[in-house]
Amino acid sequence: MHHFKQKKSELYCEGVPLSRIAKAVGTPVYVYSHATLSHHYRIFDEAFAAVPHIICYSMKANSNGSVIRSFTNLGSGVDIVSGGELMRALAAGAPPKKIVYSGVGKQPWEIEEALKRDILMFNVESREELEAIDAVAAKMKKRAPISIRINPDVDPKTHPYVSTGLKKNKFGIRIEQAIKDYEWAAKRKHIEVVGVDCHIGSQLTEVSPFIDAAARVRLLVEKLIKKGMDIRYVDVGGGLGITYNDELPPEPKVYADAIIKSFSGLDITLILEPGRVMVGNAGVLVTQVRYTKEIPSPHGKGSKHFFIVDAGMNDLARPSLYGSYHAIVPVGKAPRGKVEADVVGPICESGDFLAKDRTLPAFKSGDCIAAMSAGAYGFSMSSNYNSRPRSAEVMVSGARYEIVRERETLKELVRGEKTATFLRKKGAK
């Protein structure tokens, strides 16, 4: 469900035509619907209403402060993976006791910052990380709350780049090893064992891998409780997929019921780390066709078109990186006629495309189009490749919109850069 709708041949975000935003703010621009964000949070939260739970929005999907704040205002916590995310999460009003810290490469300064803020728990991914947390906590004379991220060796049946719960992946600790690590951790003065964690991948469109992983986690939780450990939290990660094209992922309620059932009877609080499902369909990337080009079709008959737009793989990396699909929708009245086309960016690589081999309206230069479902892993993965300033971000609520991040300036592109002194011409600064 989302609030992007075609009304009288204009694409609207809630009550605002996207063409108005494109004209006022320029393109490319990411546009988020606040009503959609709130709706997604509420649906997810209500789905788990029957059990104690904390939703920790996985902010790597979209770390704009207003997006995070949309969730924290509704009671959400945050799943972070870096000191930078910790800073942004706190600035956006996340209560430290609802922050969980995941990721395989936590650095000592990041661990220290998180400990200073008294976050809910560290999701630990290796024995060496556990030892590092113990050392930092000892130095600070604190106890670090931890859970171990289990690698359950379950196939999430998704893109290999976003599968994380297979034994060949770098993530988590296999169950047999985890038991040893838990026993070690339980004896440390500066570590407090509080939970068990698991995350098997992203954009899952079936519920069965979640159930398989949960069954393995449950067995471990029971073992640890028997050993006398006070397991209060079970973090099942994120990963629920969304519809980009024709996928039919389970509804949040179906997913929630399966998870709730998997842990029924245990005296624990569930932690959920949804990212994509919260923001994916709540955002679009609006871009303008600058030039069009036609070549003889490589398949023999007819011609192939290129719509060269002002957004590139630096703005939306997903199609180039994962071959992922984003629907292309006209922002204004769709031009007559259909053509076979690629929507490509200005970047100097053939891998720079937003859409490939599509049947699309015969757009002309000056037309604006929207790459749909770009709210998750869109702006947050954008870069300055080809020295392109990152795009602006806008949030809509009802009939109003506001810029929630200004377009980067050329000056910002070179912030912090210096010409090496040995390269400077005499007399120049």
Which sequence positions are flagged as catalytic? Answer: 348
**341 forms bridges with which residues in the sheet?**
305, 358
Site for ligand LLP in 133-192 (CB under 6 A): 162
From CA 427, how far away is CA 336, in angstroms rounded? 61
- What's the token pair of residue 328? 């292309």
Region near ligand LLP per CB under 6 A, out of 64-72, 126-134, 235-243, 393-401: 235-243
The correct pick among 2, 53, 98, 199 for binding ligand LLP (CB under 6 A) is 199
Which residue in the set 152, 237, 252, 283 belongs to the binding site for ligand LLP (CB under 6 A)?
237
What is the DSSP secondary structure assignment for residue 267, as one 8-state letter? Answer: -
Residue 324 CB, nearest approach to ligand LLP (Å): 6
Which CB atom, from 58 or from 82, has the smaller least distance to ligand LLP?
A: 58
273 sits near ligand LLP (criterion: CB under 6 A): yes
Element (H, E) at 41: helix 34-47
* Using rule CB under 6 A, residue 263 touches ligand LLP: no
The number of C-alpha atoms within 13 Å of 27 and in the hemisphere containing its C-beta is 24
- The residue (of 61 and 193) whose beta carbon lies closer to ligand LLP is 61
**Residue 159 is encoded by which pair of tokens?**
């893109």
Neighbouring-strand partners of residue 284? 31
> In whole angstroms, what is the distance from residue 214 CA to residue 235 CA?
10
Please report, as residue ranges, which positions from 94 to 133 form the binding site for ligand LLP (by CB under 6 A).
102
Stretch that binds ligand LLP, among 83-91, 135-143, 236-244, 301-309 (CB under 6 A): 236-244
Q: How far is the CB of 311 from ligand LLP (least distance, A)?
A: 16
Determine the Cα–Cα distance for residues 292 and 87; give it in Å rounded to an integer. Answer: 43
At 97, give phi and psi (nearest 5°).
-75, 5
Instruction: Please say which residue, 240 or 329, places its beta carbon nearer to ligand LLP.
Output: 240
Distance CA 354, CA 31 (A): 17
- Provide the token pair at 398: 């009802």
The Cα–Cα gap between 92 and 70 comes to: 9
CB of 377 to ligand LLP, least distance (A): 3
β-pair type (29-33, 392-397): parallel
239 binds ligand LLP (CB under 6 A): yes
Q: How far is the CB of 309 from ligand LLP (least distance, A)?
A: 20
* Closest separation in Å from C-beta 163 to ligand LLP: 10
Among 377, 391, 394, 401, binds ligand LLP (CB under 6 A): 377
Q: What phi and psi values does residue 120 have, to the nearest 5 degrees?
A: -65, -50
Is residue 37 a contact point for ligand LLP (CB under 6 A)?
no
Binding segment toward ligand LLP, per CB under 6 A, in 44-52, 173-181, 256-264, 267-275: 267-275
Query: What is d(CA 279, CA 57) in angstroms, rounded to the nearest whole number?
Result: 10
Q: Could you list the residues that contact ligand LLP (CB under 6 A)?
A: 58, 61, 79, 102, 162, 199, 202-203, 237-240, 273-277, 318, 322, 377, 381
